[in-house]
Structure 1
Amino acid sequence: MSDKVRFELVSPERLLLARDVDMVVVPGSEGHFGVLPGHAPLIATMRPGVIEVYEGQTVVDRLFVAGGMVEVTEASCIVLAEDALNLKDVNRGDAEARAKAAREDLSLARDEAERLSAERKIAEAEALLQAVA
């Protein structure tokens, strides 16, 4: 068994990150969970939140995901994200603009499907605001 976990972050468009790390903390739908080498196999859904990537005891990357799925094996953690952003590339103004646009979309919703989509975008934007705070 390796002393590292292979972490891959995949968006619908491309592979965003792939490397061996010491630990990954994922925002699961039921709460955050950590993935270390030798983890029990698991498939879970994610809520909007931050993935923390560790090298030793240090967080080396903080990545915002809008939700998605995660597959964990003894040797890997593969995240299939609906949308992902490196928090190094996002500032508070960007997050506030997303939240404002999502609230405007809600006010303009013409049917139930548009309302639900806007509410989901608001939840994602609020999670992003918390992440950059």
Structure 2
Amino acid sequence: MADNFNFELVSPERLLLSEKVSEVVIPATEGEMTVMANHAPTMTTIKPGIVTVKAASGKVSRYVVFGGFADILPTGCTLLAESAVPMEELNRETLQKRIDAARGDIAAATNDDHKFHLERHLAELTHLNGIVVPA
């Protein structure tokens, strides 16, 4: 049986989750990471994607995050999301608004480096759209 640890998923709007879990998979910018109890201390940025949480009870829940960062310690993990919602609350219209806003930001970008980061963010949102929202 896996050890449990404290996990919190926080967005500016609300605390989405705070409980004992056995495993969390987060969409880190360098690739997906599985966090378990006694993980080495790590801080990482988060890209738009899905956070999968396995509670101590065995129940699995999923959340869609739109960037942020995670602070991982041997005793817990806190994910501070720029924005996050339970996966079942996300719809095509909401995600399309984010994609359209990203396109507008790219059109208004005056710096190549900033434009590059915005284009990468748009690609991540577009990929997320294909995964999360059914056709």
| Fold equivalence (TM over 0.5) | yes
Relative to 1, partners in 2 of residues 1:74 and 1:126: Cα closer, same or farther, differing over 3 Å? same
Paired residues in the alignment total 130
Relative to 1, partners in 2 of residues 1:121 and 1:30: Cα closer, same or farther, differing over 3 Å? closer
1:12: Cα distance to partner? 2.6
1:4: Cα distance to partner? 0.9
1:97: Cα distance to partner? 4.0
Alignment match, 1:8: 8
Identical counterparts, % of pairs: 38
Alignment match, 1:55: 55
CA RMSD between the two structures? 2.8
For the 8 Å contact 1:25–1:32, the answer to whether it is kept is yes
| Match runs of 1:1-133 below 5 Å | 3-55=3-55, 60-104=60-104, 106-107=106-107, 109=108, 111-112=110-111, 116=115, 119=119, 122-123=122-123, 125-133=125-133
1:118: Cα distance to partner? 5.8
1:7: Cα distance to partner? 0.8
Where does the alignment leave 5 or more consecutive residues of structure 1 unmatched? none
1:43: Cα distance to partner? 1.0
For the 8 Å contact 1:8–1:19, the answer to whether it is kept is yes
For the 8 Å contact 1:39–1:74, the answer to whether it is kept is yes
1:8: Cα distance to partner? 0.4
For the 8 Å contact 1:50–1:131, the answer to whether it is kept is no
- Normalised TM-score (structure 2): 0.76
